[in-house]
Amino acid sequence: MTAEPTADTLRIESAEQYQEAVEEVLRLEQAREGSPEFERRQALRAALADYELRRIPERPPGIG
């Protein structure tokens, strides 16, 4: 049995992983604060933001 990735270990490396993470975040949108699902959603959001900063480093002025 493998451990669930935490916010510190979850890392998105491809466009496919990014899309899967977006879909999972949407599925977890109604998760209750403090629940494992909520924690997973927060970790995914952090990983998405990290991926976006790494893959889309330059944004036009006024965006982001």
Domain ranges of the chain: 15-55
**Separation between Cα atoms, residue 22 and residue 9, nearest integer Å:** 17
For the four alpha carbons of 59, 18, 40 and 6, in that order, the dihedral sign comes to negative
Ramachandran region, residue 62 (left: φ > 0; alpha: ψ -120 to 50; beta: rest): left
pTM over 0.95: no
> What is the DSSP secondary-structure string of 31-58?
PPTTSHHHHHHHHHHHHHHHHHHHHS--
pLDDT in tens, 18-56: 999 999 999 999 999 999 999 999 999 999 999 998 887
**Separation between Cα atoms, residue 40 and residue 42, nearest integer Å:** 5
